[in-house]
Amino acid sequence: DVKVTQSSRYLVKRTGEKVFLECVQDMDHENMFWYRQDPGLGLRLIYFSYDVKMKEKGDIPEGYSVSREKKERFSLILESASTNQTSMYLCASGTSDSPLHFGNGTRLTVT
């Protein structure tokens, strides 16, 4: 069974802090994704990566960056957290031939 693990279920950070959200998958998937989930807006793609050290912007990349140094790990970075980045963050992995598998999410609150 595919497992996508997000390091934290809940995070509370202050405005201006640098925040790291970590995600690890155990199925050797090439592709990894970071989505943000907000009520009434569904899941919106922030960034994705199709290979180590490769990244592409999604629909809402502003205020975020990512890092993929190893195939199994994909990190989302908020350089300077703001209150409008309070949200649920979902990591996913997959291949071009398989469905996406999601982690259980990290609920981030920025105060």
Which residues contribute to the site for another protein (CB under 8 A)?
A: 4, 31, 33, 35, 40-45, 48, 59, 90, 92, 94-97, 99-105
Q: How far is the CB of 31 from another protein (least distance, A)?
A: 5
Nearest to another protein of 17, 56 (CB atom): 56
Q: How far is the CB of 84 from another protein (least distance, A)?
A: 18
Residues written for the chain = 111
Nearest to another protein of 17, 73 (CB atom): 73
Bridge partners, 78 (sequence order):
19, 64
Q: How far is the CB of 105 from another protein (least distance, A)?
A: 5
What is the rounded distance in angstroms from the CA atom of residue 105 to the CA atom of residue 89?
5
Residues in contact with 68: Cβ distance below 8 Å, sequence separation at least 6, in sequence order: 32, 49, 51, 52, 53, 54, 55, 74, 75
